Amino acid sequence: MEGRRTNQTITGVVVSDKMDKTVVVLVNRLVKHPIYKKYIRRRAKFMAHDEQNKARLGDTVEIIQSRPLSRLKRWRLTKILAHQA
């Protein structure tokens, strides 16, 4: 299929796991300022679907873009990369 993108994956840290089957993932990224050429930290929070409720607070996870699952959830948890000790 032409023009169709593969689903985007991003890595972040779980900042909330209080909801059922949902985690909030904080994603940090560096953006270069167009005029001053300095790198600026930008962050965004994404709500991700966690079917088995496996992710815990502080875990580093990978999420993938998916169809809308609720009003704010458009991401799914694919794997847990590192557990918080």
Give the domain CATH number at 52.
2.40.50.140
- The reply to whether 4 falls in a domain is no
Q: What is the percent of the chain where pLDDT is above 90?
A: 89
CA atoms within 13 A on the CB side of 6: 2
Total structural domains in the chain? 1
Which pair of structure tokens corresponds to residue 36? 């001053």
- The reply to whether 1 falls in a domain is no
Domain enclosing residue 42, as ranges? 9-82
What's residue 51's pLDDT?
A: 95
What's residue 6's pLDDT?
A: 76
What's residue 2's pLDDT?
A: 64
Residue ranges of the chain whose pLDDT lies below 70: 1-3, 85
- The reply to whether 54 falls in a domain is yes
What's residue 31's pLDDT?
A: 97
The model's pTM is 0.87
